[in-house]
Amino acid sequence: MPHITAEDGVDVFARDLGEGDPVVFLHGWPLNHRMFEYQYTYLLDEGFRCIGIDLRGYGESEKPYGDYSYDRFADDVRAVLDELDVDDATLAGFSMGGGTATRYMSRHDEARVDKLALLAPASPVITEKPDFPEGLDESDVNPLIEGARTDRAKMNADFAEMLFHTDQSDEMTDWIWSLGMEASGQATIASAETWRDADLRPDVDDITVPTKIYHGVHDEVTPIEITGEVLEEGIENAELIRFENSGHGLVADETETINEQLADFAG
């Protein structure tokens, strides 16, 4: 059953592979579940069950015009976990998926999840707020949104180049670009506005499960100082793991290390 219908009638795609302890993956903006290909390969060989969800508007999920808030994404994740009868999962969210995971844990009272893995998360706050002057200026984010409105292909190419600290093949960045182009334009714009504007600090207070935060020290998209370090301080049972040779795209910058860390934590 690759598509699961949310309560508003939108079909959300989920790929469910393997058996064993479940790890549920939530992708980043503007990608889809296939960004975790090399995590699936490793974890499946290690005996885990891997569930990759395409958030609505992305990948193989339905792409309606409408709501792309963290509430909407979190409710879709709940629909998938309920339909697949997933329990005792490790919920692994990358970038925007980390923001979705943060909201899910609060909004759905940590249902069906007993461990949380946040990978370069767009959480809890990305841009400046009156009581959070450390955040990025909106002018750092708005060109991505404007690019999605005017030349999404060029914006996705530029964003793919921003992701990594280590050298990646041209074919890898082309593949990342292709994943971004599978999204709808409206979802790309609306969900970027979501992660730009969100303040998930109240949600962080509700997280009680063991949590690992995996973050590249060279991350220019969600800088570790305003995300990973803040989350480690705010979540009562959290540990920040610094990836010294990674930017935002730590799943490709340090693939072997993140795979081993996830297997150790989720096992």
Active site residues: 95, 219, 248
Instruction: Spell out the residues 6+ positions from residue 17 whose beta carbon is closer than 8 angstroms to its own.
Output: 40, 44, 49, 50, 51, 52
Write the DSSP string, 211-261: EEEEEETT-SSS-TTTTHHHHHHHSTTEEEEEETT--S-HHHHTHHHHHHH
Tokens of 200: 């998930």
Strand locations in the chain (E): 3-5, 11-17, 22-26, 49-54, 89-94, 113-119, 211-216, 238-243
Q: Are 243 and 228 in contact (CB under 8 A)?
A: no
Coil, helix or strand at residue 93: strand
Nearest to 105 by CA among 236, 266, 6: 236
Tokens of 130: 């009156």
Q: Are 13 and 60 in contact (CB under 8 A)?
A: yes
Q: Are 97 and 103 in contact (CB under 8 A)?
A: no
Q: Are 54 and 26 in contact (CB under 8 A)?
A: no
